[in-house]
Amino acid sequence: MNILAFFAHPDDETMLAGGTLALFARNGASVHYLCATRGEGGELGEPPLCTLEDLGAVRTRELKCAVQVLGGKSLTVLDYVDPRVGPDEELYPYTEDISALTNEIIDHNKPVSADVVITHGSNGEYGHPAHVISHQAAKAALAMLDGRRPTLLTVSAVFPGHPRSRLANVDDPADFVLDVTPTLTAKTEAALCHRTQHALFVRRSSREAGRQMTVPEVIMPVESLHVSQFDPDRNHQADLAALLEPWVEINHY
pLDDT of residue 252: 52
In this prediction, residue 236 has a pLDDT band, given cuts at 50, 70 and 90, of: low
Q: Residue 237 pLDDT more than 80?
A: no
Rg (CA), the chain: 17
pLDDT for 95 beyond 70: yes
Nearest in space to 135 (alpha carbons), one of 169, 180, 167, 176: 169
Gap between the Cα atoms of 139 and 250, Å rounded: 25
Q: How far apart are CA 114 and CA 123, in angstroms?
A: 24
Higher local confidence (pLDDT), 234 or 2: 2
User: In the prediction, which pLDDT does 253 show?
Assistant: 47
Give the pLDDT confidence score for residue 4 in this predicted structure.
Answer: 98
* Arithmetic mean of pLDDT, 140-168: 92
Query: What is the spatial distance between Cα 154 and Cα 179, in angstroms, rounded to a whole number?
Result: 17
The pLDDT score that the predictor gives to residue 207 is: 96
Domains of the chain by range and CATH?
A: 2-252 (3.40.50.10320)
pLDDT above 60 for 39: yes
* Torsion from C-alpha of 123, 151, 173, 72, nearest 10 degrees: -70
Q: Are 154 and 5 in contact (CB under 8 A)?
A: no
Q: For position 230, what pLDDT does the model report?
A: 78
| Average pLDDT score, the chain | 93
Least confident window among 35-39, 70-74, 246-250: 246-250
How high is the pLDDT of residue 154?
98
Rounded distance between C-alpha atoms, residue 84 and residue 224, angstroms: 29
Residues 6+ apart with CB under 8 A from 161: none
Q: Is the pLDDT of residue 86 over 90?
A: no
Asked if pLDDT for residue 173 goes beyond 90, the answer is yes
Phi-psi sector, 232: left (phi>0), alpha (psi -120 to 50), beta: alpha
Q: Is the pLDDT of residue 138 over 90?
A: yes
Distance from C-alpha of 94 to C-alpha of 81, rounded to nearest angstrom: 6
Residues 190-214, mean pLDDT to the nearest whole number: 97
Q: Among 207, 97, 223, which residue's Cα sits nearest to residue 155?
A: 223
Would you say residue 126 has pLDDT above 70? yes
What's the CA gap between 159 and 170, in Å, rounded? 9
Res. 247: pLDDT tops 70: no
Q: Read off the pLDDT of each residue in 193-214 and give the average, rounded to a whole number.
A: 97
